[in-house]
Structure 1
Amino acid sequence: MSDINAVIFDIGNVLIEWQPERFYDRVIGADRRKAMFAAIDLHGINDQVDRGHGFRETIHAAADAHPDWRDEVLMWHDNWLDMATPTIDHSVRLLRGLRAADMPVFALSNFGIQPFAIAEPVYPFLGEFDRRYISGHMGEVKPEPRIYEMVEQDCGLAPETLLFVDDRRENLDTAATRGWQTHLFDGPQGWADRLVREGLLSPEAAQ
């Protein structure tokens, strides 16, 4: 019998591919994209959105601050859905399989308020979690310890009974220091195999 009482999913690059560089490579070319990312810390700017800052205001301010790249920076706002795609279908099946098996499933994701609202109607499974811990609404981000503490306080489950999947090692490291069980996502098959080993899904349900 598993000692896991809830499974916690990251969203970006676990359930939905999040690849801004791939989008820009396609639209403006790899060389120009590399030059822009060298000149502007777009991921750092996006971190502010993940902390709850206004999406449009933050990106437009960055565009105004970098007039040579204004049109390209505005794409981060105007073409956001083209960066957050496609769905990782096998991961979504695993999410639904866990729910069908009556295992509570939570989301814990660095995600801005407005981007999440944009994503919800496009990705219906975002509404299927038992609990959602979205950084923009919480004002805290991974891998800082406070957001994990807030999850524990809200769900009331012992840390060692939580299994957390994320694609970033640093996010898992903080969780592990708090006693959470963790899995580094490097593809849905490895995650499926872990869920089978834990006895949370049958091999058939993990397909």
Structure 2
Amino acid sequence: MTAIRAVIFDIGNVLIEWQPERFYDRAIGEDRRRAMFAAVDLHAMNDLVDLGHGFRDIIYAQADATPDWRDEIRMWHDNWLELATPVIDRSVRLLRALRAKGVPVHALTNFGIESFDLAKRHFDFLGEFDRAFVSGHMGVIKPDPEIYRQVEDDLGLPGAALLFADDRDANVAMARARGWNAHLFDGPGGWADRLVADGLLTAQEAA
């Protein structure tokens, strides 16, 4: 059995909550939000940003192409930090506990180039990874197997030496298909338990 030599965190819904619908419910009301999301595939729009296309360019182009929702779509860009909130504090503590023990900790995230730079300026812990593998820079998004291959090649480690946490079933399934140890994140408590079970942290360190 290969020992785990690095831990990899997803960011959205693992370290920072990412629930755009919740922001729009507050901003325009649930009924209007439901109507807008039914009319416009905003998550597909965001996938283009995560693939490395211009953050403002993609969102404003979608807004201009959908005049009935122009102002609301622009909020995705203009109010982005309000969409990406709050921080999942215990997950950040786990990240820092691992680093304090000398465990290499990386990120593997679907994130745009400019939006990740914005997030790094706002959330200091995003600058604490040994390596941050950001889809916008890599030109591919999870769960495409190519993004996992790039991580393996860059780190020079087999999948069996990696432990990865992500909140999406498809991303976890692909990681496992490549031989990674993978945890489906549904809260920091379960992730802490996994880190303890794999001998990376003690129960006290993971508290």
TM-score by length of 2: 0.99
Q: Which residue of 1 aligns with 2:43?
A: 43
d(CA) in 1 for partners of 2:121, 2:77: 17
| 2:115 counterpart of 1:115 | yes
Kept after mapping to 2: 8 A contact 1:2/1:199 = no
Q: Which residue of 1 aligns with 2:30?
A: 30
Kept after mapping to 1: 8 A contact 2:152/2:159 = yes
d(CA) in 2 for partners of 1:104, 1:119: 21
Unmatched segments (≥5 aa) in structure 2? none
SS at match of 2:149: helix
Alignment of 1:47-86 (within 5 A): 47-86=47-86
Kept after mapping to 2: 8 A contact 1:9/1:107 = yes
**Over aligned residues, Cα RMSD in angstroms?**
1.0
Q: What is the one-letter code of the residue matched to 1:116? A: F
Q: Which residue of 2 aligns with 1:4?
A: 4
| 2:101 counterpart of 1:93 | no
Shift of 1:19: 0.9
Alignment of 1:58-207 (within 5 A): 58-207=58-207
Percent identity among equivalent residues?
66
Aligned length, in residue pairs? 207
SS at match of 1:17: coil
Shift of 1:121: 1.4
Kept after mapping to 2: 8 A contact 1:2/1:198 = no
Shift of 1:132: 0.8
Q: What is the one-letter code of the residue matched to 1:59? A: I
Q: What is the one-letter code of the residue matched to 2:96? A: R
d(CA) in 1 for partners of 2:65, 2:2: 52
Unmatched segments (≥5 aa) in structure 1? none
d(CA) in 2 for partners of 1:113, 1:107: 14
Shift of 1:158: 1.4
Q: What is the one-letter code of the residue matched to 1:73? A: I
SS at match of 1:200: coil
SS at match of 2:165: strand
Kept after mapping to 1: 8 A contact 2:8/2:108 = yes
Kept after mapping to 1: 8 A contact 2:7/2:106 = yes
* Per-residue Cα deviation, 1:114-154 (whole angstroms, up to 9, x for no partner): 10011111101001001110000110100001000000000
SS at match of 1:111: coil
Kept after mapping to 2: 8 A contact 1:52/1:139 = yes
Q: What is the one-letter code of the residue matched to 1:127? A: G
* Per-residue Cα deviation, 1:14-57 (whole angstroms, up to 9, x for no partner): 00001100000001000000000000000000000000000000
d(CA) in 2 for partners of 1:61, 1:124: 31
SS at match of 1:91: helix
Kept after mapping to 2: 8 A contact 1:2/1:200 = no
SS at match of 1:7: strand
SS at match of 1:8: strand
Moved over 3 A (4+): none
TM-score by length of 1: 0.99
* Per-residue Cα deviation, 1:80-102 (whole angstroms, up to 9, x for no partner): 00000111000000000000111
Q: What is the one-letter code of the residue matched to 2:109? A: S
